Amino acid sequence: MRLFEQPAHVLHDMLVKKEITSAELTQDVLARMDEVEGDVKAYLHVTKEAALVQAKAADEKIARGDAIAFLEGIPCAIKDNICTKGVPTTCASKILEHFVPPYDATVMTKLEKEHPVMLGKTNMDEFAMGGSTENSGFYPTHNPWDTDCVPGGSSGGSAAAVAAGTAIWALGSDTGGSIRQPASFCGVVGMKPTYGRVSRYGLVAYASSLDQIGPIARDVTDCAHILNVIAGHDEMDSTSADAAVPDFTKALKEDVKGLKIGLPKEYFVKGMDADVEKTVRAAIDKFKELGAEVVEISLPHTDYAISTYYLIAPAEAATNLERYDGISYGERVNGADVVELMTNTRSEKFGEEVKRRIMIGNYALSAGYYDAYYLKALKVRTLVQQDFTEAFEKVDVIMAPTAPTPAFRIGELVSDPLQMYLQDICTVPLNLAGLPGISVPCGFSSKGMPIGLQIIGKALDEETILRAAYTYEQTQDFHTKMASIGGKNA
Which structural domains are found in the chain, ordered by start?
3-265+391-489 (3.90.1300.10)
Question: pLDDT digit string (tens) for 125-174?
Answer: 999 999 999 999 999 999 999 999 999 999 999 999 999 999 999 999 99
> Mind telling me the catalytic residues?
79, 154, 178
Count the Cβ atoms, other than its own, within 10 Å of residue 476: 16
pLDDT for the residue 418: 80
pLDDT at 489: 39
State the SS3 of the chain. CCHHHCCHHHHHHHHHCCCCCHHHHHHHHHHHHHHHHHHHCCEEEECHHHHHHHHHHHHHHHHCCCCCCCCCCCEEEEECCECECCECCCCCCHHHCCCCCCCCCHHHHHHHCCCCEEEEEECCCHHHCCCCCCCCCCCCCCECCECCECCCCCCHHHHHHHHHCCCCEEEEECCCCCCHHHHHHHCCEEEECCCCCECCCCECCCCCCCCCEEEEECCHHHHHHHHHHHECCCCCCCCCCCCCCCCHHHHCCCCCCCCEEEEEHHHCCCCCCHHHHHHHHHHHHHHHHCCCEEEEECCHHHHHHHHHHHHHHHHHHHHHHHHCCCCCCCCCCCCCCHHHHHHHHHHHHCCHHHHHHHHHHHHHHCCCCHHHHHHHHHHHHHHHHHHHHHHCCCCCEEEEECCCCCCCECCCCCCCHHHHHHCCCCCHHHHHHCCCEEEEEEEECCCCCEEEEEEECCCCCHHHHHHHHHHHHCCCCHHHCCEECCCEEC
pTM beyond 0.75 = yes
Q: What is the pLDDT along the chain (490 residues), one digit of tens a residue?
A: 799 999 999 999 999 999 999 999 999 999 999 999 999 999 999 999 999 999 999 999 999 999 999 999 999 999 999 999 999 999 999 999 999 999 999 999 999 999 999 999 999 999 999 999 999 999 999 999 999 999 999 999 999 999 999 999 999 999 999 999 999 999 999 999 999 999 999 999 999 999 999 999 999 999 999 999 999 999 999 999 999 999 999 999 999 999 999 999 999 877 899 999 999 999 999 999 999 999 999 999 999 999 999 999 999 999 999 999 999 889 999 999 999 999 999 999 999 999 999 999 999 999 999 999 999 999 999 999 999 999 999 999 999 999 999 999 999 998 888 888 888 999 999 999 999 999 999 999 999 999 999 999 999 999 999 999 999 999 999 999 998 774 333 3
